[in-house]
Structure 1
Amino acid sequence: MKFHFAHNNFNVINLEKSLAFYKEALGLVEVKRKVAPDGSFVLVFLSDGSSVHQLELTWLRDWGKASYNLGDNEIHLAFTVSAMEEAHALHKKMGCICYENEKMGIYFISDPDGYWLEIIPARD
């Protein structure tokens, strides 16, 4: 028996805002969408176009709260990038950098719902 990563899920408050963020910040694009027949939820799967792993964004109609409680937010997704300086400049311009560790050569960005995304330089 062998298991393979499929996707991670983030619940979001404003689906369109989140989709725009992930496209601009990380180049992720929608590859699949499932809408509940009663409209109670929408699932959108995002892809980087090269790996099989996807990010699932879930919008819940009846959530009714202004935000999700992410606790200490000690979990995150990590992305490698071949052009670290260019990525950093983009994220700085977007105002989404929430933590930098210059010694390690990494930084984190925060999405519209407060989820942290680690940016790591690609290694040859």
Structure 2
Amino acid sequence: MRLLHTMLRVGNLEKSLEFYCDVLGMKLLRQKDYPGGEFTLAFVGYGDEASHTVLELTHNWGTQAYDLGNGYGHIALGVEDIYATCAAIQAKGGNITRAPGPMKHGSTVIAFVEDPDGYKVELIQLGSRPGDRN
């Protein structure tokens, strides 16, 4: 088995595509409207679906926002230079909600950014996690 994708429901597909593609550097892999069901699916990621796990953005037409609930955690992205990545995200208008630095009670260097719908995206400095090879 292999993890294929994670799905997020988004209120404004264009804003979400701008965030994930322009701010976080993902590529729009495919997008399709489903008029009968009144929704659009857009798949984004850092590589093709054949060999990478991707993110499915689902926009239900006529729905502008969702309650995030208290069960959702975050998406995590590994980055080479967390400080430069956060600076680049901020320069593109991204909202850093936790500045880069070691996590509480550990040495892993993390930061958090928020997408247009309020979903959290954790950035993890590659090589800073216990067991990472530098």
Asked if residue 120 in structure 1 is aligned to residue 124 in structure 2, the reply is yes
1:71 aligned to which of 69, 72, 87: 69
For residues 8-87 of structure 1, the aligned pairs below 5 Å read 8-38=6-36, 40-49=38-47, 52-63=52-63, 66-72=64-70, 74-87=72-85
Q: CA deviation at 1:101?
A: 5.9
Q: Distance in 1 between matches of 2:59 and 2:37?
A: 10
Pairwise CA RMSD of aligned residues? 1.9
Is the partner of 2:85 in helix, strand or coil? Answer: helix
Aligned length: 120
For residues 95-114 of structure 1, the aligned pairs below 5 Å read 95-100=94-99, 102-104=101-103, 105-114=109-118
Aligned to 2:106: none
In structure 2, list runs of 5 or more residues that go unmatched: 104-108, 128-133
Q: CA deviation at 1:18?
A: 0.6
For the structure 1 residues 16 and 40, does the alpha-carbon distance in structure 2 shift closer, same or farther, using more than 3 Å as the test? same
TM-score for both structures, normalised by structure 1: 0.85
TM-score for both structures, normalised by structure 2: 0.79
- Runs of 4+ aligned structure 1 residues displaced above 6 Å come to none
Q: CA deviation at 1:122?
A: 1.5
Identity among equivalent positions (%) equals 36
- Which piece of structure 1 moves more, 109-118 or 41-50? 41-50
